[in-house]
Structure 1
Amino acid sequence: MDKSATKRYLQSAGIPTAPCMIINKRDAGDLQELAEKIISEFGLPVVIKAATQGSSIGVVIPKTAEEVVPALEEAFKYSENVLAEKCIKGKELTISIMEENSEPKPLPVIWIAPHSGAYDFHSKYTKGATDYHCPAPFDEETTAYIQKIAVETYKLLGLSGVARVDAMLGDADGVAYVLEANTVPGMTATSLVPKAAAAVGISFPDLCEKILLSAK
């Protein structure tokens, strides 16, 4: 799903999402000037990401001013549109949602804790590089709040079947900021959706059957 389009939908609906700047390659102009504008707007570190990639491809989190231009160049390799996004300090979360009787049902929240501090391609696909807490150790009120935001996002974007909503829970304000939605989440036996399903006693074969039965 196009991250820039998702961002516009979230903003128009008032769903919390990280402040961002959407940049088209044709309008980018001088990248050094653009980098200075991004830093002025969002500070450092800042998230630079291609609008149309998955698995954190084309995503860079520059921590210094000198790293911003190379980050933009990297992101533009993968997409005509790039997002420069405020880096929210907090806990990275993912909420899997599946349909049950035509209604979206959130599965347990997963708190993603990469050892490197950034959930990048390496952290996603290197064994032992990330800890996954499922269900996330939040109180009932916080969990319900996060799941509510995820379901609202699922409905807003017109999703169906199984999907995943990624968010950051801000340390400073406790707000769940939606980052993006994954309409084709990984479905290996060790992927995040099966991990969330297993936390409520749904085996991998049963999960696959439920997804097939909910297909429209």
Structure 2
Amino acid sequence: MSQFDPKMDVAALGKVAVLMGGDSAEREISLLSGQGVLQALRARGVDAHAFDPAARALCELRREGYARCFIALHGRHGEDGTVQGALELLGIPYTGPGVMASSVAMDKTMTKRIWRAEGLPTPDWRLVGSAAECAQAFAELGSPMIVKPVREGSTLGLTKVLHAGQCQAAYRLAASHDSEVLCEQFVAGEETTCALLGQGAGAQALPIIRIVAPGGNYDFQNKYYTDVVRYDCPSGLPEQEEQALRALSLAAYRTLACRGWARADIMVRASDRQPFLLEINTSPGMTGHSLVPMAARASGLSYEALCLQILAGASLDAWQGREVRA
């Protein structure tokens, strides 16, 4: 199912900046992702260089003759539309979704509103501005309830609330990461994720990954720094369910006008096998524990080939439909 061209002229890709690090709470993970991408591109002969926006002004990209950027930044100022907007102004094509799609996808509440309006399933939620409102949301949504920052990634600031007495601490933790806090109905079941590549009608959903974490605790530590989480790819799900999840992921991706690549996170409710979209990650991790490379391998695409394919699709919003190609 890969669209990778092994005869790609890497010289035509020009001088490439791998944007990594940045100033978000996910800086350290971004550095790991960026180093992986950098090594993969260099191994394929790409003139790739590390570039940390926290240490250097983005205007230096044009001054130093960069032809395109691979965005390996995570979180704020990396996948929220801000760096994408700066690159649009500089006229330097970049990987992943554009300004609007990145900004909307970073905001979990806006994402859920759009999905709900389009008839796509997502857990019920409340946007709250105080611990008291969090407690009221708990009374309405029931137990368990997930409390998390609206604009943050990697489960940072997230709490699974089991009783009302936890609402105040859960709210304070989430609010320490963002001024807006989301309370979301918990879906008991299987956690899955689906990597997506491409754009529009040509977008592809890679094999589903089923995530099995100890006690269902797929937190920041277990995501990146332990080997206790099991990742099933192939997922082991019934074929009909696998295909339905891939179709739902594509619909979620296209509805937000994503391009390049992304990853959709979906819970499958155990009681009736109903899937619920949680969020879209528009600059997924590329570390040794990351899920997009895992799904790519299952579809016959190596890590290096995946990086090249994503890079070759770098584009600008102003050039929609006219992707910069090698």
Give the TM-score normalised by the residue count of structure 2.
Answer: 0.62
Q: For the Cα contact (< 8 Å) 1:146–1:176, is it kept in 2?
A: yes
Written as runs of structure 1 = structure 2, the 5 A alignment for 1:36-185 is: 36-99=135-198, 103-185=202-284
Please give the root-mean-square deviation of Cα atoms over the aligned residues, in Å: 1.5
Alpha-carbon spacing, 1:22–1:121, altered in 2? closer, same or farther (3 Å): same
Find the aligned partners of 2:200 and 2:270 in 1 and give their Cα distance.
36
Runs of 4+ aligned structure 1 residues displaced above 6 Å come to none
Deviation by residue 1:55-104 (Cα, 9 ceiling, x = unmatched): 11111112222111100111011111111000000101110000179711
In the TM superposition, residue 201 of structure 1 has moved relative to its aligned partner by 1.5
Find the aligned partners of 1:172 and 1:192 in 2 and give their Cα distance.
26
Find the aligned partners of 1:132 and 1:99 in 2 and give their Cα distance.
24
Match of 2:120 in 1: 15
| 2:300 matches 1:201 | yes
In the TM superposition, residue 190 of structure 1 has moved relative to its aligned partner by 3.5
Written as runs of structure 1 = structure 2, the 5 A alignment for 1:26-37 is: 28=130, 31=131, 33-37=132-136
Find the aligned partners of 1:187 and 1:9 in 2 and give their Cα distance.
27
Give the TM-score normalised by the residue count of structure 1.
Answer: 0.92
Match of 2:86 in 1: none
In the TM superposition, residue 136 of structure 1 has moved relative to its aligned partner by 0.6
Q: For the Cα contact (< 8 Å) 1:116–1:123, is it kept in 2?
A: no
Instruction: Among all aligned residue pairs of Structure 1 and Structure 2, give the percentage whose two residues are the same amino acid.
Output: 33
Find the aligned partners of 1:102 and 1:139 in 2 and give their Cα distance.
25
User: 1 or 2, which has the higher strand percentage?
Assistant: 1
Find the aligned partners of 1:130 and 1:140 in 2 and give their Cα distance.
23
Deviation by residue 1:16-60 (Cα, 9 ceiling, x = unmatched): 00000012x3xx3xx2x3243122211111100101111111111
1:192 to 291, 297, 300: 291
Greater CA radius of gyration, 1 or 2? 2
Q: For the Cα contact (< 8 Å) 1:116–1:129, is it kept in 2?
A: no
Note the residue ranges of structure 1 that are not aligned, 5 or more in a row. none
3-state DSSP of counterpart to 1:85: strand
Query: Aligned pairs, how many?
Result: 210
Find the aligned partners of 2:254 and 2:270 in 1 and give their Cα distance.
26
3-state DSSP of counterpart to 1:61: strand
Q: For the Cα contact (< 8 Å) 1:51–1:83, is it kept in 2?
A: yes
- The residue identity in structure 2 corresponding to 1:54 is G
- The residue identity in structure 1 corresponding to 2:138 is I
